[in-house]
Amino acid sequence: MRQGDYIRTGSRRANLRRLGIALISPVVIYMLIVMVFPFIWALFVSLTDKKVGSEGAFIGLQNYGEIMKDPLFWRSVLNTVIFTAAAVLLKVVFGVVMALLLNERIVFRNLNRALLILPWTIPTMVSVLIWQWIFSDISGVLNYILLNLHLVEERVGFLASRSLAMGAVVLVNAWRGIPFVGISVLAGLQCIDGTLYEAATIDGANVLQRFRSVTLPMIKNVTILATIVTTVWTLGDFEIVWVLTKGGPSNGTQILSTLSYTYGFMNMDIGKALAVALISFPPLAVLIHFTTKRMLDQS
Amino acid sequence: MKKLVALILAAVLTATLFTGCSNSAGQNGGGGTDDEGGSTKFTVWMLKNFSDVSNQYFVDRSEQFGAEKGIDVTVEMIPYAEFLTKWTAAIESGETPDVTYMGYQEAGMFAAQGVLMDLSDVYQQIDEREALYPSLRSAVSYEGAQYAIPYWTEPIVLHYRKDLLEKAGYTEPPKTWEEFREIAKACNDAATGVIGAGVGFGKNNSDAEWFARAVIWSYGGALFSEDGTSSIVNSKETEEAVQLISDMFLVDKSVAPSAVNWDDSSNNNAYLSGQAAMVINAGSIYNNLKTSDEELYAKTGVATLPSGPAGRYIPGVCNNLAVFKNTENAELAKEYLLYMTEPESYREWLADGAPLTCPIYESFKNDEIWQDPVNKAFIDTVDSFVFLGYKTDFNPAAGEVYTQRMVNDMFQQVLVEQTDIPTALQNLQDQIDAVIGK
């Protein structure tokens, strides 16, 4: 190769490099502004005693120490785990069942598919307010039905005990989240080659065996991915719990996101609110890591 | 390396889930001059109350101020439950409104944090123009200065269903809290869905905080000592008061099943839907009934709150207008406050909202509108207002205890977890002491 060729190749590489930097820089700048700087700011403020309207002095890990000693924080951790586990389980089970049903040749299949997405399309606030009315003991429809069917003798306070309230927020979260899992799994089901089922049938496989040997392996990846994504969303859920119960009764539905909000906006303790938010970061980071890794691997 | 990058990306995304919201606040706040060099923008955040006429009058009057001053006035009507979030976000972002509604409990708290403007001079001018109720001064004062201008008071009274009480054998509303319990129990009817007492203790319920104090104080209890340096809530007197309420919930079951999850609108809804025999509330229910349900309006009676062994205590609710320190329109804000409290137009605004909106001017109680028996029942309580902080004067710590709904939390411990009352009171006392000690 002549010297001129080397120069031209080197110059081309440099140009390509500059082009690459130019193309990627908007994303990097966006990430810096929208994600990295707020994260660093949050981390710094969590190390201060900042209250609303005050500058706040550096106090090291004091907020984290106080939070770790606070029984309410540990109750919130437990509630978050229960809320997330129960809601995700319901979403995955019913999402998969719904997808399997809608993949069959049932009547009004397209209409049913549209109805499946409905809970997901209604704004969260609207749907939660409707559920609040359903659960209400003042003109609430659920109590009305139960009383008229003589299934209960007096009105039930669905949001009045810790366990019932937790059940209610899990139910509403699951109701909203099932469509996402359903649609994801349905997309996976649509990609299964029909000849696989034909081959399995020729080999003498019955319905259950076909499901176990063909369907399940083919939808495994998409189900796992949908489960991880919905777990991350459920862990970060705030609106449903806040609107329905405000974390009550008696902190029975207090989860980490509502606790952080309570510290920040009710108690005006910004430092502690951010510490609560950041303390729950490691498990979420691991989950998001696996999600992105899986997505990258698949692509 | 790829794993490390993915992990960092994951970390940043996670953190953003929590921190992203912090930068979106205050979009509707902020005054000053617009970027194109046009007229001055002047923003007011006002409490949206239950009278549309009253709300509109306030907006019209504010816009009239804008027209006279040649500025662009924007009034945003906001429900009470949303204010704390909006103030917090606005203060942090620096995008505060020029003038805002503020309860005295929050005004004290924000004054102590140094974010409110000293309005002592405006208070003085208003008071000299037309005498304010003397008791209101302490509610808006912090270290001798006034940080908010009272705009209206909201007496809390007992609303009761005359027909339901009569059916249960009572011709008069309860005079004492013991009678209140007795009548609630007698009126409670699971078959028809009637709740004896429409009271609740939801996590964020502000009505409950006032109701609880009315009962506790009338039994001789108090949250604060006379010098305000400590909490004395864990006492025999408070225990009796809490026991009475607890018995209504757990023994008589004369409240709604989900009363421990009620918010501020629940008691209104229960009464307006004909499902509560008695509720304790400001005049919003009466205002609503006047226009929406003549039949229920005719069946509704209003009475002063019952008393206890130590007497009758009416928690004072004083609603104000305040100005954040960082407003660019400080002088305009002061002029606006003087304009909005100008007695004659103010009198018209009050008339639209009566009996929910009671006057700040003492002489107004002699106006014809307040001689109406129902309105009189409301306004007569203003003279005997007792403010947060009792047995001492109102102070920021009292505001913070109220804002954090500590009394509600104590009741939730008793009613939901069934913690014994002395333990729950000791927890509350420790919490209040912690606030005082800050």
Beta bridge partners of B281: B157
Among B56, B80, B77, CA closest to B317: B80
Nearest by CB to residue B11, choosing from A41, A249, A285, is: A285
Distance separating alpha carbons of residues B71 and A129, to the nearest angstrom:
39
What does the pLDDT read at residue A29?
Answer: 93
pLDDT of residue B127: 97
Asked if the structure places residue B285 within a domain, the reply is: yes
Does B210 reside within a domain? yes
Q: What pLDDT does residue B33 have?
A: 52
B345 touches chain A (CB under 8 A): no
Please tell me which of the candidates B7, B10, B261 has its beta carbon nearest to residue A245.
B261
Nearest CA in chain A to B407: A250
Model confidence band, residue A135 (pLDDT cutoffs 50, 70, 90): very high
Residues 6+ apart with CB under 8 A from B124: none
Angle, CA B172 vertex, CA B166 and CA B174 arms, to 5°? 110
Contacts 24+ apart (CB under 8 A), A260-263: A260/B18
User: Span B255-270, mean pLDDT?
Assistant: 91
B218 plus B290 within the same structural domain:
yes
Concatenating the DSSP letter of every residue in chain A gives: --HHHHHHHHHHHHHHHHHHHHHHHHHHHHHIIIIIHHHHHHHHHTTB--BTTS---B-TTHHHHHHHH-HHHHHHHHHHHHHHHHHHHHHHHHHHHHHHHHHS--TTHHHHHHHHHHHHHS-HHHHHHHHHHHH-SSS-HHHHHHHHTTS-SS---TTTSHHHHHHHHHHHHHHHHHHHHHHHHHHHHHTS-HHHHHHHHHTT--HHHHIIIIIHHHHHHHHHHHHHHHHHHHHT--HHHHHHHTT-STTTT--HHHHHHIIIIIS-BHHHHHHHHHHTHHHHHHHHHHHHHHHHHH-
User: For domain A62-298, which architecture applies?
Assistant: Orthogonal Bundle (1.10)
Residue B12 lies in a domain: no
Q: Which residue of B has its CA nearest to A232?
A: B14
Choose the mutation target among A250, A261, A288 for the interface with B, i.e. most B CBs under 10 Å.
Answer: A250
Within 8 A by CB and 6+ apart from B155, the residues are: B282, B283, B314, B317, B355, B358, B378, B379, B381, B382, B385
Q: Do A39 and B15 touch (CB under 8 A)?
A: yes
Q: Is B115 on the interface with A (CB under 8 A)?
A: yes
d(CA B14, nearest CA chain A) in Å: 6
pLDDT band for B32, please (50, 70, 90 cuts): low
B18–A266 C-beta distance less than 8 A = no
Residues B262 and B293 in one domain: yes
**Do residues B309 and B327 both lie within one domain?**
no
The residue type at A6: Y
Name the domain boundary from B379, B395, B413: B379
- The pLDDT, as a whole number, for residue A11 is 82
Which stretch, A10-19, B83-92, B242-251, has highest mean pLDDT?
A: B242-251
Structural tokens at position B415: 């009613």
Mean pLDDT for A153-178 is: 93
How buried is residue A118: exposed, middle or buried, by Cβ count under 10 Å (0-12/13-18/19+)? exposed
Which chain B residues are within 8 Å of A157, Cβ to Cβ?
A: 256-261
What are the residue boundaries of the structural domains of chain A, listed by start? 1-45, 62-298
% of chain B exceeding 70 in pLDDT: 91
Is B118 inside any structural domain?
Answer: yes
Q: Which pLDDT belongs to residue B21?
A: 39
Q: Nearest-CA distance from A200 to chain B in Å?
A: 39
Is the same domain home to B307 and B336? no
- pLDDT score at A287: 76
B389 within a domain of the structure (yes/no): no
Cα angle B259, A262, A280; round to 5:
120
Residues B102, B69, single domain; the answer is yes
Nearest-CB residue to B85 (from A31, A159, A265): A265
Question: How does strand B157-161 pair with strand B300-303?
Answer: antiparallel
Contact between B18 and A156 using a beta-carbon 8 Å cutoff = no
CA dihedral (A264, A270, A276, A279) positive or negative:
positive
Same structural domain for residues B147 and B41? yes
Mean pLDDT of A122-133: 91
- Domain containing B323 — which CATH number? 3.40.190.10
B145 and B211 Cβ atoms separated by less than 8 Å? no
AA identity, residue A288: I
Higher pLDDT, B287 or A256: A256
B203–chain A Cβ distance below 8 A for any pair: yes
Q: Do B273 and A138 touch (CB under 8 A)?
A: yes
What pLDDT band is residue B209 in, cutting at 50, 70 and 90?
very high
Token pair of B132, please?
């304010």
The verdict on B174 and B279 lying in the same domain is: yes
**Per-residue pLDDT at A290:** 76
Residue B14 pLDDT greater than 60, yes or no: no
The mean per-residue pLDDT over the stretch B275-281 comes to 95
Q: Is A150 left (phi over 0), alpha (psi -120 to 50) or beta?
A: left
Contact (CB<8Å) A157/B85: no
Partners of residue B409 in chain A, C-beta under 8 Å: 250
Of B84, B87, B260, the CB nearest to A160: B260
Given a cut of 50, whether residue B13 has pLDDT beyond it is no
Looking at the complex, does the CB of residue B18 fall below 8 Å from at least one CB of chain A?
A: yes
For an interface test with A, which of B3, B19, B417 has the most A Cβ atoms less than 10 Å from its Cβ?
Answer: B19
Average pLDDT in the B261-276 region? Answer: 92
Residue A277 has its nearest CB partner, among B6, B18, B193, at B18
Q: Do B321 and B311 share a structural domain?
A: no
Full residue range of the structural domain in which residue B422 is found: 157-315+404-436
> According to the model, what pLDDT value does residue A34 have?
87
CA distance B426 to B410: 9
Task: Tell me the mean pLDDT in the region B159-165.
Answer: 96
- Chain B segment 371-390 residues within 8 A of A by beta carbon are none
B3 reaches A (C-beta below 8 A) = yes
Residue B10: pLDDT band with limits 50, 70, 90 = very low
Least confident residue range of A12-26, A80-94, B236-250: A12-26
Instruction: Quote the pLDDT of residue B11.
Output: 47
Phi, psi of A251 (to 5 degrees): 60, 20
Q: Please write the tens of the pLDDT for every residue from A195-214.
A: 998 999 998 889 889 888 89
How many angstroms separate the CA of residue B192 from the nearest CA in chain A?
A: 10
Surface of B (181-200) touching A: CB under 8 A:
190, 193
The residue ranges of DSSP E strands in A24-133, in sequence order, are none
Mean pLDDT is lowest, of B23-32, B82-91, B231-240, for B23-32
Whether chain A has a CB inside 8 Å of the CB on B305: the answer is: no
Pair B308, B369 in one domain = no
Contacts of B204 in chain A (CB under 8 A): 246, 266
- Give the percent of chain A with pLDDT over 70: 95
Residue B62 lies in a domain: yes
pLDDT at B47 over 90: yes
The model's pLDDT over B371-384, given as tens digits with 9 standing for 90+, comes to 998 899 899 999 88
The pLDDT, as a whole number, for residue A48 is: 94
Q: Are residues B168 and B217 in the same domain?
A: yes
B14–A137 CB contact, under 8 Å: no
B334 and B423 in a single domain? The answer is no
Residue A68: phi, psi to the nearest 5?
-65, -25
Which one has a higher pLDDT value, B289 or A173? A173
Give the count of domains, chain B: 2
Contact across the interface for A155 and B3, Cβ inside 8 Å: no
> Which residues in chain A are contacts of B12 at CB distance < 8 A?
31, 35-36, 39
A138, A279, A293: which to substitute to probe chain B, counting the most B Cβ within 10 Å? A138
